[in-house]
Amino acid sequence: MGCMFDVTGKRICITGSSSGLGYVIAKGLASQGAHVILNGRDKGKLDQARASLDQEGCPVSAYPFDVVDENAVAEAVAQIEVEIGPIDVLINNAGRQHRLSLEQFPLDKWREIIDINLTGAFIVGRQVASSMIKRKSGKIINVCSLQSELARRTIAPYAAAKGGLKMLTRGMAADWAPYNIQVNAIAPGYFITDMTQALADDHEFDAWLKQRTPAQRWGRSEELLGAVFLFASSASD
């Protein structure tokens, strides 16, 4: 009997994976034999990420597209399916944060946060699922957040988007379960990434976080890999 957590040969597309948590997940999956497909809007940054992983012995593919551009997503997914093959696992990881008190929050920033964190997962998820439905096989992992459940000052739009993503995950699971598609989410608390580095460097916030966290420390991105392997493999069938 093979390992039920095995991802060898699985084609796994990770949005927003040229840096941060997405990059760590990509490295972890690629190191275990998955065919990882990186994504980001910035082609230069994406190429650099691919080169870095290749140097570390984790060869990956890379496709630049904007998750909120419906046409670009459709073209990229079609290209991936022709050049690499059907996507077995989609990880909706692309995200954006902007911290400001809600009464001062500009409408354009609100729309950007909602679009990238929530609408992008819908657009990419729907496009990838259309092929999964035909094959009656697939897995989708949405990267939610502690803020899917809790609020904190200055990040209300982000919490609204991530709360919406939690319910979108449930909706996807309900709609697509009949086609043997499993949809789950991971919801990290405070992990040190590019997005949270400024908070980690803030001594007052760092002390507050450690005081309220039972483990008294920040999470390390690689500690999320166990959950990712569960939801990307047959262990979550």
Q: Which helix (H) or strand (E) holds 89?
A: strand 89-92
158 included as an active-site residue? yes
Return d(Cα 118, Cα 183) in angstroms, integer: 15
CA angle 6, 30, 50 (to 5 degrees): 165
CB 13 within 8 A of CB 89: yes
CA–CA separation, 164 and 178 (whole Å): 23
- Catalytic position from the list 23, 63, 158, 190: 158
Which DSSP category does 236 fall into? G
Among the residues of 107-180, which ranges form H helices? 107-114, 120-135, 156-176
User: What is the three-class DSSP state of 115?
Assistant: helix
CA atoms 118, 123, 124, 126: torsion sign: positive
CB 48 within 8 A of CB 24: no
170: Cα separation from own chain's centroid: 16
Catalytic residue ranges:
158
